[in-house]
Each structure stands twice: as C-alpha cells, then as structure tokens.
Amino acid sequence: MPRAGLGAHAREASPARLDQLSRWGILAIVLALFTLSGGVLWYAGYNYDGLMGSALTKLHPATYLTLCVLGWRACVFGNPFGYLAHVGRLRPASLLLVLISLGALVSVILRQRPNMAGLVDTFLAAGLLGLLLADMDERLRRQMEMLLHGVMTVNGLMALFEFATKILIFPYRFDGETFPTDLRSAALQGHPLVNATLTACYVLALMSGARQMSTPVRLGLILLQLAAMVAFGGRTAIVTVLALGLTYGLWHSFGMVRRRRIHLMAAALILLGLCLVPVALAVLISGGFFDDLLGRFVSDGGSANARVEMFGLFQHFSLPDLLIGPDVELLESLRRISGLEWGIENPIIRMMLYQGAFFMALMFVGFALFMRELARGRAGSWLPMIAWLILINGSESLASKTTLMSKFAVILLCLYRTGERDRSMVSPLQPRPVIRR
C-alpha cells in the first residue's frame, strides 16, 4: 500500500499529456505575445496602449488566450481544482504569483489605485502562463523555440528596414497618437525600450542556451539581433549586452583553450573574424550607421536627470503615506512639477509611490520566487537573467502595463532545457585531468 501511494503521488507530480488543441493554443499564445504590439493592434481597431476605448481592449489578446487555454486544460484534466493542484505542485512559485496578483488586484480595485490592467497583463498573465507551461514536453518546447527564432528574426529584419528607410511600419502609439520626433525602430514589439530589453535577453540566451542550434546559425542570429539593437537605440541594453557577452565569451573561450577542446579551423575563423571587426566597424561608422545611437549617448533627453529627480518625490510624503500609497492626484502633480513627464523610470520606486511599500514588497516576493523558479535547473540561464534584472530597473517596465515578463519567461523556458550542464561555469583555471596510459 505505501508503494502504491508513492507511485500515485509520482504520477500526479509528473507533467500531464498535452492534447493537440492545447499545443496549438500555447503556440498561438506565444505568437500573439511576440507579434501583437500596441501598434499592430491599433490597425485592428484595438486600442491597447491608451486610456480611451473599451475596458476589454486594455488587456492583451495573449492574456485572454492564456485564460482560455488554461480553462480548456482544466476541463481536459477532468477536475479543474485537481488541475490547479497538479500544476501548482509542478510550478509552486507561478501559483504563488497568481495568488499574490489576484490579492493585489482586489486591493487596487477597492482602494481605487491606478494600473489595474497592468497587474493583470504584467504579473497575473505571467504566472498563469507559467502554470500552463508546467506540462510542456520536449516536442512543444522545440516547436516554441522554432517559433520564437522565426518571430525574433522577422523582428530584427523589420528593425533594420525601419532604421534604413525611417518608415515605421507599426509605430508606438498612445491613444492612436504617434511620436513624430522618435524615429527609433518599433518592429513587432512596439516601444523601442521594450524591443531593446527583449532583444538583449534573447541575444544572451542564444549565447548560453539553444544548445541544439548549430554554431553558424546561432552566430548569424546574434549578429542580426546586435545590429537591430542599434536601430532600437537602447543605450543601457547595448552596454549590458556588450559587457556580459564579451565577459562570457572570453571566459568560455579561455576555458576551451585551457581544456584543449577547440579545433584549429575554428580558432583560425575566430581570429579572422576578430581582424575583420575593425574594418566592418569603420565601414559602418563612415556610413552613419551609429550616428543616431551616438547622438542618444551625447544627449539623453533628460533621462539621467529624471532618475535622480524621482528620489526627491519621497520627501513630500509621510511614512504612513509611503507604506500604503500617497494621494494619486498629489503625486501626479508633484511628478510633473519635478520634470518627470515621461514617468518614474524605476519599477520599484514607481510601485512604492503609486501603490505603497507593503504592496511593492508583496509583489517583489512573488516576482523573485517566480524568477528563481524559471532559472532553476536551466544551466546558463543566469546570463540573460542578470541582463533582465539590470534592464527592467532602467524604466517603468514591470510597474506599468507590459507583457515583458511573460516574454522573458518564454525565452528561458524555450531556449534552456532542464538538466543540461553549463560548461561556462567550469573554471578555465581548473586543471585538466591527467590520463594515465
């Protein structure tokens, strides 16, 4: 009897079989996440980025799809509550994030605080997607990976086309209004900063993940995405990718040389490539490829000053106000007076000011455990995770309405398989084992 009980528990804790409709539904969610930006949805009459229009349009279509597929999975399982218990055992942090998000949503509604739709799309949808993908098998992972590579390739090519022609196909809009002075590429992801953040994480994931992809294809995708990052103009993202990417590449290469696992032909090609890099950079610089990007480094439009001014808002409120959230109208007035017209460019500061420290701490716990769950057992995922944590702290990001966290979860779950060894974590200074003959 005890053995039978243990066997039953093991079967419950293992992933359930996916039916064909669920597979197609999950692929549709990924496709919607990575292709339907606010600019794309506007042409379909769906005002996602804005205040006007129906309240139903304030949630992303991928969120509705996730709810539908999750409901279908619960019905196919035979017992909805049993299904929630099943996926909760596989992804406890995802379930916790869902529960925290629901509690926070009720609190926001009762206290009449802003960003109700943001809580749903940013946190609740990510947690629900994590639960839905708890039953993901290798076949579905490969399908999602191929879809992800295809969409990101199209996104990069669109970015370069928009950069070359100065014609934005799906420009970022707010209530239908575009920003004529901002000619940074929008591609399929909408806002340039969203593009830059997502592309940076994808590039680093290509470097330390996607182990089944051939090296030439991987290198081609990385070069394409790096060129697209110039078109997006994300300064922090570019610096982060260069710093982390070069450090990872040098450490990994040194380890391979130390262990004598590099082929002479590969070494020759690498040296040839390094010699051609200065020539390629000189051609691109002379052609003006980096002019817009360099201009953003010279003049940031007050972005750096805004990150300093936002701390001055705290002095206008008492400790009780900061704990539960100050008056929103007063906060909005002080924000504009302080020259923060574009918002508070840090998610922790923004959430603390608009929702209160208690609220922020609760969401932080749910977010941290969710990130830990995504990275657990996925060797090499630490590289894009570091970039992700750096980049989301450079803008409002998760404190506003965004699907970035769901997209990042898809990148980690697609490009990393559990149980693989991260060769980059083997120290290149570790002596090679002596083989006795």
Whether the pLDDT of residue 277 is over 80: the answer is: no
Please check whether residue 137 lies inside any domain of the structure. Answer: yes
Does 287 fall in a domain?
no
Percent pLDDT > 90 in the chain is: 58
| pTM higher than 0.85 | yes
**From residue 285, how far is each of 148, 290, 292 by CA, in Å?**
31, 6, 11
Q: Which of 86, 88, 77, 64 is nearest to 17 (CA)?
A: 77
Q: Mean of the per-residue pLDDT values for the chain?
A: 85
- Helices marked H in 313-403: 319-324, 328-337, 347-355, 357-375, 382-392
Task: Answer whether residue 157 is part of any domain.
Answer: yes
pLDDT in tens, 111-124: 888 889 999 999 99
Give the residue carrying structure tokens 């969401």: 363
Distances (CA, A) of 11 to 5, 73, 376: 10, 17, 21
CA 156 to chain centre: 16
Find where tokens 């060894």 sit: 421
Q: 14-18, 67-71, 265-269, 414-418: which has the highest mean pLDDT?
A: 67-71
Contact 335, 327 (CB under 8 A): no
Distances (CA, A) of 338 to 332, 342, 343, 344, 370: 10, 11, 11, 11, 34
pLDDT bin (cut points 50, 70, 90) of residue 433 is very low
Band of pLDDT at residue 183, cut at 50, 70 and 90: confident
Tell me whether residue 372 is in a domain. yes
Burial (Cβ within 10 Å: 0-12, 13-18, ≥19) of residue 309: middle
Question: What percentage of the chain carries pLDDT values higher than 70?
Answer: 80
Give domain status of residue 278, yes or no: no
User: Would residue 21 count as lying in a domain?
Assistant: yes
pLDDT in tens, 221-234: 999 999 999 999 88
Q: Is residue 6 part of a domain?
A: no
Instruction: Find the helix packing angle between 20-35 and 125-132, rounded to 10°.
Output: 150
Across 223-257, b (16+ Cβ under 10 Å) vs e yields ebbbbbbbbbbbbbbbebbeebbeebeeebeebbe
Neighbours of 331 (CB within 10 A): 19
| Separation of alpha carbons 255 and 250, rounded Å | 8
Q: Please count the structural domains in the chain.
A: 1
Of the ranges 13-17, 200-204, 383-387, which one carries the lowest mean pLDDT score? 13-17
Assign 425 a pLDDT band (cuts: 50, 70, 90): very low
Q: What is the mean pLDDT of residues 158-165?
A: 94
Q: Could you tell me the residue range of the domain that residue 83 belongs to?
A: 13-260+346-425
Give the other-Cβ count within 10 Å of 420's Cβ: 13
In a domain, 277, yes or no: no
